[in-house]
Chains A and B, each alone.
Chain A
Amino acid sequence: MGAYTPHTPQEISQMLERIGVGSLEELLAVSPEIAPKAPLDVVPALPEYQIERRMQALASRNRAADYASFLGAGAYRHYAPPAIAALAMRGEFLTAYTPYQAEVSQGYLQAIYEWQSYICLLTGMEIANASVYDGATALAEGSIMAINATGRTRLLVSRAVDPRYRAVLHTYCGGLDIEIDEMAVGADGRTDGDSVLAAIEAKNYAAVVVQSPNFFGVVDEIDARLRSAIETSGTVPIAVVSEAISLGALRSPAQWGAQIVVGEAQSFGVALAYGGPYVGFIASTAEHMRRIPGRLVGRSLDNRGREAFTLTLQAREQHIRREKASSNICTNQAHCALIATIYLALMGASGLRDVAGLNLERSRELATAVSSVPGASLRFEAPFFNEIVVRVGNAAEVLAALQARGVLGGVDLGRFYPEYADSILMTATELTTTGDIAKLTAALREVVHVAALR
């Protein structure tokens, strides 16, 4: 029997009789040519206590918890108050489907309307959708919005945009005839837009994509010259935000000219969980309202004039428009969006400002400490949020040696940028302690010294 099936043998017989079929096998008969030839090769059923033992044994084979960690690069360790899980894990939220029947889904619909509002307030955009899978797919979907808006088929993307987001964009474009050009990174760690001004002005591009803080942690706004070229050419400026906590300190992408803002809100209380589920967002100016993909929650009135929430503008969506839809997205990340909404409600403006400020503070403490190590230096000098690029020699070797000393020093940039194989991307958040930084610095002194001797 299945583990969660309530049927007694007598009930099964009664039900079969009512249906008029002799057995369960008869009910599901298939022709012999397609019937399975061998039993399924899966683990035998376990009682619940043994499921726990086995899972705990597997979880204990993850051994990163005791390390001082400076990993970030698109997934961030932040404090999440326990009230988030207590609320989000309520069965009403957890076991609801997409709120097609609005009359019995008002609570979830209101929460998603609040999520959309929070994203608008933080990004400075006019509208935001109910979420997409993650930051990378948000960029792909946002780019398709720009392609549909302009009728152009080329994108111009900064190399300082998260390389995995760019890889996903390439995957998505593999199905369409979209070409992607890149903007170089300048010596200070910011996108160098100067070399592409002429191409932008020639109206070649559907969108220009910049990330801030960028993959190197550097605040990377579209500068005035690039912005003016974008405006005159009718190109859509897209901003990417992968560290959402930065929105508590930095001015909104709307203020430096973005028309579409896409990003990742994992930092708002969503567990790291080895990469997912996280929650992507897409926000834009009002002119893109009918091109935005996925669910949108709107506020309307019910038949007695009471305020009520409902899914709206569904004529964009796959279940209505099929092959003419603005996207194929159906399932989104509603529950992670709920978690982020609860996080923002708990933190409030003052809490988010403090968390952002502590990230600024601790990352500067980190920068000062590591740059005091002989042989280690900061690669970029432009203002940064909570991540720094540290030049150490051979990044892969140094990281392995740090790991042997109980430190996860960060991400080897050579993995994505051959030209930066000497550099590590290090992250500090409000959870990074002075002790962690001291441990890293002490290890780095041994390791970089050793590397230099070789």
Chain B
Amino acid sequence: MSQLSADRPAPALIFETGAPGRATHYVERSRPHGEFLPPELLRSELPLPDNSELDVVRHFTQLSHRTFGIDLGFYPLGSCTMKYNPRVNDAMANLPGFRDLHPYTPDDLAQGSLAVMYELERSLSSIFGMAAFSLNPSAGAHAELAALLVAKKYFKDRGESKRTKVIVPDTAHGTNPASAAMCGFKVISLPSDARGRVSVEEIEKVLGDDTAVCMMTNPNTLGLFEDHIAEIAAAVHRVGGLMYYDGANANAIMGNVRPGDMGFDLMHLNTHKTFTIPHGGGGAGHGPLGVAAHLVEYLPTPVVRAIPDGKSDLRRAPSDGMRFELDFDRPKSIGPMRSFWSNFAHAVRALSYLYANGAEGLKSVSQLAVLNANYLRVGVSEFLTTPYPEICRHEFVASAQELKKATGVRALDIAKALLDRGFMAPTVYFPLIVPECLMMEPTETESKETLDLFIEALREIVETAKRDPASVMAAPVNTVVGRIDETRAARQPDLRWRQSG
């Protein structure tokens, strides 16, 4: 809270600082560009500011002081799995042998990186019960798109191009319907039942020979386990459709239940959630795409192929006795999803996290994530409505609907009041089916003390709302700026600095 409430003014935009010629010289002075290229191809002006290294260091350090991350405090953002990002993972990704390797390095000089990709791929396949994973997609939404392209090609090859519909529950992440639309599918939204789940009866109403894919996340975004998942999968398979698992909530299931065993044919994993890769303010992510055996040949290119040339034991020293190569020759593949092979540095981070935990550790991670979520749910239910009062998985939803009726204080106000108290806000107004929704995911890396402090802060906000609603509606007041005029931002877009000011 202290860093973010400092009364110092915002650093000026970088463009309003510096002086021409002040920049630190990191390289030699070059000869004039006109010696190398005809003048009509050259730039006449380059209006970027020149700053000393110290001024740049201060600028970005001050910006960091105006930014909240997990390292500063509790970050219970539902569906985002904001757990601790271990520093060893970054150190491993920055080993020069990994960091400086060019993507077009010949395979025989890149065996270490290929081994990392292979080992991660095999491990993920085992953890999630898939035949194979592609490490090509860059993020969850990117993997969803890749998966739907796989499904499209698979159906086309089977002469089933009439399958044009993708079924998405109304609790689904917004990327699901958006990915389906980008792939030319028609989206069928499926209402949840009174228990907050997809019911077999409801889904059977929309299934048919035009069903392509049913996209689900389990546990769903209410934090509830879809306990009829095996029957749902069977029903979708009966009409010839495919089941897609949105792995955004995979932190709840490791070592407990596998998407492959639940009947899913395709899935993605957000390793930047479940496997502790830092979110970095919105990316870069990493979205491995897993598939069942009948879809492996459709995976994006390239895939890492292992050629055993000796004895190997994956569990002890997986890369010993094996040679690896990038395989681009995959005739049925949907093709590449991105410029190069993978967000490789993130594959290193994910594998490092896997090494730290092993199978037992991952199981414990999910158990304690669920323990923390339920502990928080029980605490919060003392003063806020929890519309689904039952055991949740890694996250749960509360509603400020009744508080709003009584006091006028909304979920958004509660979120802003939490910022004043040094906590990140939960996800608000999602999923869409819960009015005044607050969606909370504590993750397993938070201690009981932190959860207790958060519960008390939330309790105090709700009590204040009943006594003095205006003060909650005025929040935040301890942050460097107050609530921002969003309408002005959208109606008079100012999306860049201009020279005139």
Chain A bound to chain B: yes
Pair A274/B174 contact, Cβ less than 8 Å: no
Pair B174/A271 contact, Cβ less than 8 Å: no
Residue in B closest to A120 when the chains form the complex, CB atoms = B496
- With A98-B279, A350-B50 given, is the CB distance from A61 to B112 under 8 Å? yes
**Interface check A198, CB cutoff 8 A:** no
Residues of chain B within 8 A of A120, CB atoms compared: 496
- With A27-B367, A27-B371, A312-B489 given, is the CB distance from A272 to B99 under 8 Å? yes
**Interface check A338, CB cutoff 8 A:** yes
Residues of chain A within 8 A of B27, CB atoms compared: 79, 351, 354-355, 358, 430
Q: Mark B122-164, 1 if CB is under 8 A from A, else 0.
A: 1100110100000000111110110011001100000000000
Question: Could you tell me the distance in whole angstroms from the C-beta of A299 to the nearest C-beta in chain B?
Answer: 4
**Interface check B68, CB cutoff 8 A:** yes
Query: Which of B36, B263, B286 sits near A360, CB closer than 8 Å?
Result: B36
Residue in B closest to A358 when the chains form the complex, CB atoms = B30
Question: Could you tell me the distance in whole angstroms from the C-beta of A3 to the nearest C-beta in chain B?
Answer: 4
- With A15-B371, A331-B282 given, is the CB distance from A28 to B178 under 8 Å? no
Residues of chain B within 8 A of A287, CB atoms compared: none
CA distance A16 to B490 in the complex (A): 47
Pair A331/B141 contact, Cβ less than 8 Å: yes
Pair B69/A79 contact, Cβ less than 8 Å: no
A 67-91 contacts with B by CB, 8 A: 67, 69, 71, 73-75, 77, 79, 81, 83, 85-91
Residues of chain B within 8 A of A7, CB atoms compared: 368, 371, 444, 447-448
Residues of chain B within 8 A of A185, CB atoms compared: none
Pair B95/A55 contact, Cβ less than 8 Å: yes
Query: Which of B25, B262, B359, B391 sits near A34, CB closer than 8 Å?
Result: B262
B 39-55 contacts with A by CB, 8 A: 40-44, 46-51, 53
**Interface check A300, CB cutoff 8 A:** yes
CA distance A100 to B346 in the complex (A): 23
Residues of chain A within 8 A of B174, CB atoms compared: 317-322, 325, 330
**Interface check A130, CB cutoff 8 A:** yes
Pair B261/A37 contact, Cβ less than 8 Å: yes
Pair A322/B177 contact, Cβ less than 8 Å: yes
**Interface size of A as a range:** 35 or more
- With A12-B371, A348-B50 given, is the CB distance from A40 to B359 under 8 Å? yes
Q: Mark A215-256, 1 if CB is under 8 A from B, else 0.
A: 000010100000000000000000000000001111110000
Pair A104/B283 contact, Cβ less than 8 Å: no
Most B CB contacts (10 A, CB to CB) among A93, A247, A323, A336 go to A323
Pair B105/A64 contact, Cβ less than 8 Å: yes
Q: What are 23 A-B contacts defined by CB distance under 8 Å?
A: A5-B365, A5-B444, A7-B447, A34-B263, A45-B360, A54-B355, A56-B97, A59-B96, A95-B71, A108-B63, A133-B283, A171-B149, A171-B335, A172-B145, A175-B148, A277-B286, A277-B343, A313-B490, A321-B174, A323-B181, A323-B187, A331-B284, A357-B36
Pair A107/B109 contact, Cβ less than 8 Å: no
- With A4-B83, A101-B424, A345-B60 given, is the CB distance from A136 to B278 under 8 Å? no
Residues of chain B within 8 A of A408, CB atoms compared: 102, 105-106, 109
